[in-house]
C-alpha cells in the first residue's frame, strides 16, 4: 500500500505544478484576450465564433458551459449583478465553479444588468420600503447587490 500512496503523492504534486504554471499565464492572457478579441481573431480563433453564437461551441469545457447556464439563471430569476453572479458561481456555498469558468460565464452572458438593477431596486422599494438613496446604497454595496454605480443610478432614476 505504501507504493500506492507514493504514487498518489507524485500524481498530486504534478498537477499542482501545472496549475501554478497555468495560473501564472492566465492573468497575462486574460486582459489581452478581453481587450483584443474583436481586434485580433488570430490569437484564439475559436473564441470569436463562440461569442457570436447563442449556444457555446462544442469545444467549450462542460464546466464553462454549465457556469454560463447557471449565470443566465441567476440573471433571469434573481436579477443579479455581474459581480454578484461571479461571486455566487465561485462560492463554496453556491456553484463552486473555478474562477476561470465563472469568468467565462460573466464574460459571455447575454444580460441587461441595468434592467437587473432596476428589478432589484423595485423589490427593495416594495418589500423593504427603502428610500431612493438607501436603494442606491444597497445596489452598489459589496454586501448587497454589487451593481456598478452607473447601473444603480439607472435603476434609481427609473423607479416610480
126 exposure class (CB count in 10 Å sphere: 0-12, 13-18, 19+): exposed
CATH 1.10.10.10 for the 63-110 domain, yes or no: yes
pLDDT of residue 13: 33
pLDDT of residue 153: 98
Q: What percent of the chain has pLDDT over 70?
A: 64
The residue written with cell numbers 434573481 in the block is 78
Mean pLDDT across the stretch 5-17?
Answer: 34
pLDDT of residue 57: 56
Distance (Å, whole) CA 50 – CA 146: 28
Q: Is the dihedral of CA 41, 87, 152, 65 positive or negative?
A: positive
Mean pLDDT across the stretch 95-121?
Answer: 98
Rounded to 10 degrees, the C-alpha dihedral 86/75/117/36 comes to: 60
What pTM does this model have?
A: 0.64
Q: How far is CA 13 from the centre of its chain?
A: 29
For residue range 109-159, what is the model confidence (pLDDT) as tens digits? 999 999 999 999 999 999 999 999 999 999 999 999 999 999 999 999 999
CATH for 114-157, options being 3.30.1540.20, 1.10.10.10, 3.40.50.150, 1.10.3720.10 = 1.10.10.10
Is the pLDDT confidence value at 105 over 90? yes
pLDDT of residue 4: 40
Mean pLDDT across the stretch 49-73?
Answer: 76
Q: Do domains 63-110 and 114-157 have the same CATH topology?
A: yes
Amino acid at each position: 500500500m505504501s507504493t500506492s500512496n507514493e504514487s498518489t503523492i507524485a500524481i498530486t504534486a504534478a498537477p499542482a505544478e501545472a496549475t501554478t504554471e497555468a495560473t501564472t499565464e492566465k492573468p497575462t492572457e486574460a486582459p489581452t484576450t478581453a481587450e483584443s478579441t474583436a481586434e485580433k481573431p488570430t490569437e484564439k480563433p475559436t473564441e470569436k465564433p463562440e461569442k457570436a453564437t447563442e449556444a457555446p461551441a462544442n469545444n467549450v469545457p462542460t464546466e464553462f458551459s454549465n457556469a454560463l447556464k447557471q449565470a443566465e439563471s441567476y440573471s433571469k430569476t434573481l436579477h443579479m449583478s455581474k459581480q454578484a453572479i461571479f461571486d455566487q458561481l465561485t462560492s463554496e456555498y453556491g456553484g463552486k465553479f473555478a474562477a476561470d469558468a465563472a469568468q467565462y460565464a460573466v464574460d459571455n452572458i447575454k444580460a441587461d444588468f441595468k434592467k437587473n438593477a432596476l428589478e432589484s431596486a423595485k423589490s427593495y422599494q416594495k418589500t423593504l420600503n427603502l428610500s431612493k438613496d438607501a436603494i442606491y446604497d444597497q445596489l452598489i454595496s459589496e454586501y448587497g447587490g454589487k451593481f456598478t454605480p452607473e447601473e444603480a443610478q439607472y435603476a434609481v432614476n427609473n423607479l416610480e
